[in-house]
Structure 1
Amino acid sequence: MKKFIPLLTVSAGLSLGLVTQGCVTSSGSPVVENGSNPAVTTGAGTDAPYYGTGPNNSMPAPQTAPVDLRNVTGARLTSEKYSVRGNKDYTVLGQKYKVWRDVESYYEEGTASWYGPGFHGQNTSNGEPYNMNGYTAAHKNLPLPSFLKVTNLENNKSVIVRVNDRGPFHGNRILDLSRGAASKIGVIGPGTARVRVELIKTVATKDQTNENLMNGFKPYIQVFSTMDYNKALTIKNSLSRETGKPVFIQNYQQAYRVKMGPLKQDEADRALSAVRKSGFSGAFFTAD
């Protein structure tokens, strides 16, 4: 089944070659949150993106109680933000999928499977190498990365997993576990198991990665790069006066990059055009 966005390999023996995307993370002390999120329906057979496995393709019911993490181990919880890559809505095998970028709460019961050696070392949907012995998972809709508590309802064993991949695209399965996670809760032998999935919210939605970034928008312009700081400073000051936009110098590996931004999406194209007309024909958009 493996995964998507956009290098997609499907671990049930199917491989679809698209473009792999990577991940941006940051560390911190997690805050486990709980909330409500109404189901959002699209209706089967329409052109709207598929949301999830709840009734009428809705997001399943929200959590009604805090996630109990006592004596549950697995992936280390971090306050990393959603990747700017791997979080666009997408299509697999003719089916559209919606990424729940603003998800606050998520609870679901259904069938989980696992994937292993055939994908070890390959890139996941957010560009990270897949470690089959780690505590990770693939989900069709959750933002990457997200954290889940997964409980095997057949033996009541639980594990914390970090979602960094897309899938499973097989039947009505709701989650694909790494071999390490599947082994911890007893899914290896039978291959599938009925599980309960609960979202562990580690970063408040208001502090999350901007949706424009996750959709591919790059809010900065790299204007020029030089080894001469005084030259970079002259260009910075000149552009600031001419455009009225924020311009700064970024020191990168002994080079000084003159950058403009952050820019709003509706002004970015005009700003790039103005910069190029000022003599910087090689200027380009960048994510940071």
Structure 2
Amino acid sequence: MYIKIISVALSAAIITGCSTRGVKIHSTRPAAKHYETASTTKGSSYVHPTMRPYTVFGKRYYPTKVRVGEKFTGISSWYGPDFDGKATSSGEIYDMHALTAAHKTLPMNTVVKVTNLDNGKNVVVRINDRGPFVGTRIIDLSNRAAHAIDMVDKGTARVRLEVLGFEGKKSKNIASKKELRSGPQEMVSGSTYALQIGSFSKIEGALITQAKYDNFRGYHTVIKDTEYNNKRIFRVWLSGFKSEAEARDFKSDSPFDKAFIVGE
């Protein structure tokens, strides 16, 4: 017997950005209330709820693992006020002012950069819903994200998606340019401590700092996309320290006099 899950994030149905929300997603197993990761457990038949196949309009969809650096192109739509405050497929409440999006098969909490190919504008969003299920559209952006790439009035746009990383509960890792150049790879962190070497309200400043110090003395940089006092903050961490003592010794003999140690 199918378990019915109400999805907010279905695709925009017409060019104004209105959506065909209310379509029921059928999954072979009940969904969990909280989603920490989007992966399968090795050596087990368990499949995380966000990775289970589901059916919409008679078509079967299979969520698929992706790697940092992978790119996709297609048509984007958006959804807004009519669905604000309603539940998404991940169990979160849709907030049209948040930088989120819906995708048919990307794992929940995948972080992607969406570039409007018509004007070059881009925005970083987190996948937390399923859709769009209209035509060949590949992503459904929140109202705020759609405004960021100037596609609200038109309703749809030609876009390129680039996988940047995968979010945890409250923050997400964004790959460095070096990691992207080395080819698709999973975002994995084996270190315990890091130094926060910068904090920015705009991602551009964080990306510049990340590129400047990536692989500095053998340590790598990551960007943590977080919220503080209801504001989006991009924190740059120099990562790879195996102990607090190692991080402290490094800091004492480095140009990062204002940096501080954080646990990963």
- The alignment's TM-score, normalised by the length of structure 2, stands at 0.51
> Among residues 78, 82, 94, which one is paired with 1:130 in the alignment?
94
**How many angstroms does 1:24 deviate by?**
2.9
Distance 2:108 2:118 in 1: 28
Structure 2 alignment gaps of length 5 or more: 12-18, 40-47, 167-172, 174-184, 190-264
**How many angstroms does 1:88 deviate by?**
0.8
* Stretch of structure 1 that moved more, 146-155 or 103-112: 103-112
**How many angstroms does 1:103 deviate by?**
4.3
Contact 2:51–2:62 (CA under 8 A) maintained in structure 1: no
Structure 1 alignment gaps of length 5 or more: 26-80, 209-288
3-state DSSP of counterpart to 1:118 = helix
Identity among equivalent pairs (%)? 40
Tell me the residue number matched to 1:177: 141
**How many angstroms does 1:82 deviate by?**
2.4
Tell me the residue number matched to 1:22: 33
Tell me the residue number matched to 1:146: 110
* CA 16–199 in structure 1, closer or farther in 2 if over 3 Å, else same: same
Contact 2:50–2:63 (CA under 8 A) maintained in structure 1: no
**How many angstroms does 1:21 deviate by?**
4.6
| Structure whose CA Rg is larger | 1
* CA 164–14 in structure 1, closer or farther in 2 if over 3 Å, else same: closer
* CA 177–134 in structure 1, closer or farther in 2 if over 3 Å, else same: same
**How many angstroms does 1:7 deviate by?**
2.2
* CA 5–106 in structure 1, closer or farther in 2 if over 3 Å, else same: farther
Runs of 4+ displaced beyond 6 Å: none
Distance 1:6 1:105 in 2: 31
Tell me the residue number matched to 1:8: 7
Q: Name the one with the larger strand percent.
A: 2
1:204-252 CA-partner distances (Å, limit 9, x unpaired): 74969xxxxxxxxxxxxxxxxxxxxxxxxxxxxxxxxxxxxxxxxxxxx
Taking the TM superposition and a 5 Å limit, the aligned residue runs for 1:85-164 are: 85-101=49-65, 103=67, 105-164=69-128
Distance 2:146 2:4 in 1: 23
Contact 1:135–1:181 (CA under 8 A) maintained in structure 2: yes
Contact 1:20–1:123 (CA under 8 A) maintained in structure 2: no
Letter in 1 for 2:80: G
Distance 2:70 2:156 in 1: 21
3-state DSSP of counterpart to 1:180 = helix
Tell me the residue number matched to 2:206: none
**How many angstroms does 1:155 deviate by?**
1.1
**How many angstroms does 1:102 deviate by?**
5.2
**How many angstroms does 1:85 deviate by?**
3.0
Contact 2:76–2:156 (CA under 8 A) maintained in structure 1: yes
Letter in 2 for 1:15: G
> Among residues 181, 187, 197, which one is paired with 2:161 in the alignment?
197
Distance 2:144 2:4 in 1: 23
- The alignment's TM-score, normalised by the length of structure 1, stands at 0.47
* CA 5–153 in structure 1, closer or farther in 2 if over 3 Å, else same: farther
* CA 106–206 in structure 1, closer or farther in 2 if over 3 Å, else same: closer
User: RMSD of aligned C-alpha atoms?
Assistant: 2.7
Aligned length: 150
